Chain A
């Protein structure tokens, strides 16, 4: 747990996470950030509490059908579903990411996308996408812009761009207006989680040659 995180999640994102209306890739980003950030975890719990109030205020008059309690007791008697434990690890990837990777950093299946930069796309629903990015120490990702909203969170190392310096746990929120050249700190290779709501079909329809740099 780090107190050094400077760049946090917005109320919009935390409320939508509590309400359960975000695409899976964004849920993964929020869950990963909350695993590292006590401050946002407490804020997220407040948004859950609003949900608790909304639930309490529901009309109970419609009621449940006859025998529903007995049916539930029968369900309970069958035993709890076996929860799959998260793969162990405590260095770079918090538990929600380890669940998607199937392990810690060593288990990531990187694919080179040129100039030493690598990425690994994570399996989520298609309304948004999530990927891990590897930027070698000191390397710069060429100037690029974004389609839709893109969130990038540092997991290892750090990077700087025209906006600020971002270290482990920090989230940069980029929209279509941001053109930037992120550069990894020289001390360590940089690993980030990036999620975007730009639709995947966009790049699929285009020949690879014309895909903007780093688009999936």
Chain B
């Protein structure tokens, strides 16, 4: 009993802090430093240090762990996006090689490692499957700081963990449509023919899902 109460009290500051944050990424946060004990919940901040170890020391062991976790997920993601198995395998390797080469560009105050890997995988898919250029926004300033504020890094990790929970909590029909949209190449029209849902229904379900996510993040 006591332990339960203790846990609740411990968790409280984190919950409060998150609730003051808007849905979008915020770089500055108010309040006390984040309780380090929160690391034990599945926020996986350690991937951030894996990337720094690659950046600073070309650490192959750190890379091997990242590879083991992300490469199969990238492969599965690309297969669902319409790639065949061989191509997906090849692209997943290329995405991981890009991660190595661009480790110095990763900014843990703006994205989690999973988000960053997703953007590299998405761009690879556009390049290889759609044979299309991908215009990216102009870089901000001079790129990531050498020593980012730990509070900012943790806040972003927590916010993303919260987003993931909110996604999981969506009604099944809404969550599936969001996922399908992210597998790329499927336009609303194609999703309509796949699912048999009218276009208007798809658009309004996605809108509803986004409203729910915003609500959960506020």
Contact = CB atoms under 8 A, between A and B. Distances in A.
Given A31-B136, A58-B77, A68-B93, A52 B122 contact: no
A31 B135 contact: yes
Contacts of A46: 23-25, 163
B75 interface: yes
Given A49-B111, A49-B163, A72-B97, A54 B134 contact: no
A143 interface: no
Interface in B74-107: 74-77, 79-80, 89, 92-94, 96-97, 100-102
Contact of A76 (B100, B115, B130): B100
Nearest to A100: B135
B115 A125 contact: no
Nearest to A65: B89
A63 interface: yes
A81 to B, nearest CB: 8
A51 B67 CA distance: 18
B185 A53 contact: no
Interface stretch (B4-12, B29-37, B176-184, B193-201): B176-184
Nearest to B100: A76
Contacts of A206: none
Contacts of A16: 181
Interface in A1-36: 11-12, 15-16, 18-21, 24, 27-28, 30-32, 34-35
Contacts of B167: 50, 53-54, 57
A200 interface: no
Interface in A81-103: 81, 86, 94-96, 99-100
A21 B89 contact: no
A94 B138 contact: yes
Contacts of A75: 93-94, 97
A20 B122 contact: yes
A31 B137 contact: yes
Nearest to B117: A55
Interface of A: 11-12, 15-16, 18-21, 24, 27-28, 30-32, 34-35, 41-46, 48-65, 68-69, 71-73, 75-76, 80-81, 86, 94-96, 99-100, 124-125
User: Closest 8 CB pairs between A and B?
Assistant: A52-B115, A80-B101, A34-B137, A31-B135, A35-B138, A95-B138, A52-B114, A60-B72
10 contacts: A21-B184, A53-B160, A55-B117, A57-B167, A58-B80, A62-B72, A62-B76, A64-B75, A72-B71, A96-B135
Given A49-B111, A95-B137, A99-B135, 11 more contacts: A21-B186, A24-B133, A41-B137, A42-B26, A49-B163, A50-B178, A57-B164, A64-B72, A72-B71, A75-B97, A81-B101
